[in-house]
Structure 1
């Protein structure tokens, strides 16, 4: 199928938003759970307990409720982010309780939920089934500090890590070793029950030990690793934490531990699958579609500049990408918060917005290039937008409004920049999470 570039140029932003929605739809729990559900236990011998945490937790719980046999007993507790419980449409009775807590910095509601989840594991037998629903965001939502730590200690370290530029694997390594429930400890609490984990990946490489800090899977990282990360990023931590990590006091269950013998893990949705869905949608419209990678990491603005170089080459008819085309990528980039003068307001924005600022800086108004970057959970950082969009006229419109891109980059202030342009992408919570989505349209 061959279409004129004018076909796409009529409304490129709507086209890009459609690709984003295609990616999100592929990752929705109701579309990918049925094939992974285990057989219920004999109700005369055992019960099914559902436990879980993550931004997709509410939707995963609803999918399980809708698909689970109505005559098979089912109960449990799942914690998700505030505002991320989807509307109920099934009309079925609610059998799994869903509660809400804070993300990305944990709060008392998350602490209470984690305590309740751990309490529900008491008395489990080998005849019981524990169905664990795990998705990105679970690290903050499932917070249960190690003995001797306070919630305030965890909040402080979490905030520092978020601002430091540490990647998700590094952050979750620390979180696992400061917790009583993450890093395989939830699985240990469930023993000797049969444990089946259904997980939606939001991390580069789909490593289940990193997703939500792996509460039900073995952890190969060590206390020494966690300590090294704190030192690498100059994270201020109480002496009690440093001493415990130095001594190995808070070590996690390791691969080969007998607590994982009755455990099965099923990956129900991944970033790569979401990107492939977007690529299929683009090809159906006659566009060439190229997936760079679903594992991209690094500083968001710098990743944006690399994408800009590829897009500019394609726009000029050079390089491996043949226009009209869409270049897609995913992964989890980072934003290192830069220190600001005393009294200066803190910038607003997240990874997707920062990527778009770096992309704009690299494109310099290149004709024939449009882009959208958004988080697949519908929230970029802690703001109300999923991300932002760009067009060939973005820099000229910003200049007309007196906006200076370099200043907004220095302040990590993508939200204010794109809000002034009317170019925020606002979707509301999507009820899933397969991390960053980036699409660049080249005509």
Structure 2
């Protein structure tokens, strides 16, 4: 899974960190999720305990978007075969090639023309559904950018400016998606409304802390309505001036949730990745501690806290005695003040490296294989990664974690993984230096 794995796995502790990360990503794959939670018995489709009688429908279509939407569509094709008679999904780096569902390319993390045309194709296909249609909505993280259907009067360039500005300011995904929902025809239940009176079943891969349905891809199948005033508050909070967006929001009235019935099922999330990583560590005889699957905030601060936990474990045996593995998930953010290259997981790892005890290894990845806008999924570091603390601090100030870690051989590269369940972090604290 990881490029140059032999070089990265320099010690048993490094190898364990890599194995835990790989197991977490593997467990989050859409085909694995569909195998765990979906089944077909005659004409009965079961999804997480809910049952759907396929004999009641003349047509079954798969519509949606997100970084794993193509893999999710392919997994349902494998389950349902020729019962699937069409569909459209939008992703940015296709890793699957379903036969009956068209895969469109959009842009991420900033929406572009492909995101707009792809979203329009999804909405058009939804509008063609009728009461005898079952729509399986394949929704995954990244769908907020990949399914971009600006309301009349707003252009994609204005949504690009709003998205980039909020990302660079370190806004949370919850905050960003308040703005996106207020400015979109497909978010906040728009996809489900377009498909009415069809039966719509959302199958979601969560990249959101707490698996909040309205936030995953901004909720195309979750009727929430819009909150223009709340969106304006977000823009004001980060002192972001996007004139066209602000003008639209000031004139817009709140919209009530669409009157549609939708079943939504989360089939895989960051918890699955953390649990799979923990199982690997436990099988190797390590004690384990799941710190949290909800770590948010500044990446550098979170990294330093993880390093402090590692140092405490090595010295006192709290919160776990070595040999141990501390695991966490969630989604940290970066406030961009410099002109360097990097991503949240690389900043997290670099900030942690300077405070790690001599024996510890830390790996941090974005499970989709793309940390920020770089070609790295994250980084693998130890106490030897930072020989010059002042240089590491300068790199963090310039947001140039990639530039610092690349010559050190610390970057982790996987390519597109076909899933997206946020960040996964593994901190290995061996029993003694001989384990490294």
- TM superposition score normalised by structure 2: 0.90
Q: Structure 2: any 5+ residue segments left out of the alignment?
A: 1-8, 40-44, 46-51, 431-436
Cα shift at 1:253? 4.4
Q: What is the distance in 1 between the residues matched to 2:62 and 2:283?
A: 39
Q: What is the distance in 2 between the residues matched to 1:108 and 1:425?
A: 30
- Please tell me whether residue 411 in structure 1 is matched to residue 398 in structure 2: yes
Cα shift at 1:124? 2.1
Q: What is the distance in 2 between the residues matched to 1:217 and 1:348?
A: 35
Residue of structure 2 equivalent to 1:84? 94
Residue of structure 2 equivalent to 1:42? 55
Q: What is the distance in 2 between the residues matched to 1:9 and 1:61?
A: 38
Q: 1:40 to 1:47 in 2, by over 3 A?
A: farther
SS at match of 2:425: strand
1:145-170 deviation digits (Å, cap 9, x = unpaired): 11100111111111101101100100
Contact 1:185 1:253 in 2 (8 A): no
Aligned mate of 2:410, from 423, 428, 443: 423
Residue of structure 2 equivalent to 1:175? 180
Residue of structure 1 equivalent to 2:268? 269
Aligned mate of 1:351, from 334, 340, 344: 344
Residue of structure 1 equivalent to 2:112? 107
Q: What is the distance in 2 between the residues matched to 1:13 and 1:80?
A: 33
Residue of structure 2 equivalent to 1:325? 324
Contact 2:371 2:377 in 1 (8 A): yes
SS at match of 1:295: strand
Segments of 4+ in structure 1 off by > 6 A?
A: none
Contact 2:378 2:411 in 1 (8 A): yes
Residue of structure 2 equivalent to 1:316? 315
Q: What is the distance in 2 between the residues matched to 1:377 and 1:171?
A: 19
SS at match of 1:115: helix
Q: What is the distance in 2 between the residues matched to 1:428 and 1:10?
A: 24
1:274-302 deviation digits (Å, cap 9, x = unpaired): 10111011100101111111111000000
Q: 1:189 to 1:386 in 2, by over 3 A?
A: same
Q: 1:281 to 1:234 in 2, by over 3 A?
A: same
Residue of structure 2 equivalent to 1:55? 67
Q: In angstroms, what is the RMSD of aligned CA positions? A: 1.8
Contact 1:304 1:362 in 2 (8 A): no
Cα shift at 1:236? 1.2
Contact 2:181 2:226 in 1 (8 A): no
Residue of structure 1 equivalent to 2:31? 30
SS at match of 1:429: coil
Residue of structure 1 equivalent to 2:365? 374
